[in-house]
Amino acid sequence: PERLSIKHELYATIEPAITPEAIVATSASGLTLSEMQAGWKDPSRFVLGHPFNPPHLIPLVEVMGNERTGHGVIEIVERFYANAGKVTIRVNREVPGHVANRLQAAVWREAIHLVKTGVASVEDVDKAMWAGPGLRWAAMGPTMLFHLGAGEGGLAAFCERYTDSFNRWWDDLGVLHLEPELAKQLVSGIAKAADGQTPADLSAHRDGLITAMLKAIAPLRAN
């Protein structure tokens, strides 16, 4: 579990047993690298390598070192993941959730807000995602997509045209905490959406969809 005392104990056992060249990467998303470094005599080869669920399919690994990280260590880690067919990004500063979990948290907050305020059902908010922006985001990230949204004028034209809309939407987005009542509303919405399928059935369906998409786009990504 993501408890610092357990991690520090573990590192005290690991460190004497590994060769000096070994690099150790942690996948913890709830603890910071600097907190965990305190468990090491020499933290110069202890870094963040955070995959994304389901890790057997999703290519992303978030990589981070800091001022205590040894020279060239991050580059070795990036080559290691690239050789394993992963796609890495560089996290330059310690923040809760790194990058991908924060994007995900931002989306889920608004998804919940829309359900909570009666704008749409759990099932329809989810459907809006997979039939809508989700498909685009599997191709490209949000800023590049907006760069393409304004044609030849690119992102500069897009920002000029839509600044007022985004500022208005941002001011109107929901702010909330996940309370037990809200969790119940979501659980009941998901029960309806699942329509009798077990999490295992649905996970297999998810993995099938992701695998099919990954295979289909692999030749296009390689170009």
Q: How far is the CB of 122 from a second copy (least distance, A)?
A: 5
Degrees, nearest 5: CA angle 191-197-198: 90
Q: How far is the CB of 216 from a second copy (least distance, A)?
A: 4
Q: What is the x/- site pattern for a second copy, positions 20-59, by CB under 8 A?
A: ---------xx---------------------xx---xxx
Q: How far is the CB of 91 from a second copy (least distance, A)?
A: 6
Q: Residues of 67-106 as b/e, b for ≥16 C-beta within 10 angstroms? A: eebeeebbeebbebbeeeebebeebeeeeeebbbbeeeee
Q: Within positions 114 to 133, which residues make up the interface with a second copy, using CB under 8 A?
A: 114-115, 117-122, 124-133
- 47 vs 122 by CB, closer to a second copy: 122
Q: How far is the CB of 24 from a second copy (least distance, A)?
A: 23
In angstroms, the CA 78 to CA 153 distance is: 35
Please give the structure tokens belonging to residue 22. 């070994």
In angstroms, the CA 30 to CA 33 distance is: 10
Q: How many CB atoms lie within 10 A of CB 218?
A: 10
Please give the structure tokens belonging to residue 191. 């029960």
Q: How far is the CB of 56 from a second copy (least distance, A)?
A: 13
- Among the residue ranges 4-12, 16-24, 37-45, 155-163, the one whose residues contact a second copy (CB under 8 A): 155-163
By the rule CB under 8 A, 151 interacts with a second copy: yes
Q: Within positions 64 to 123, which residues make up the interface with a second copy, using CB under 8 A?
A: 87, 89-93, 95-112, 114-115, 117-122
- 21 vs 152 by CB, closer to a second copy: 152
- 21 vs 164 by CB, closer to a second copy: 164
By the rule CB under 8 A, 14 interacts with a second copy: no
In angstroms, the CA 145 to CA 140 distance is: 6
- 73 vs 128 by CB, closer to a second copy: 128
Name which position in 152, 181, 196, 222 contacts a second copy (CB under 8 A): 152
Classify residue 4 as exposed, middle or buried by CB count within 10 Å of its CB (0-12, 13-18, 19+).
middle
Q: Within positions 160 to 219, which residues make up the interface with a second copy, using CB under 8 A?
A: 160, 163, 165-170, 172-173, 175-178, 183, 186-187, 189-190, 193-194, 198-200, 202-203, 205-206, 208-210, 212-217
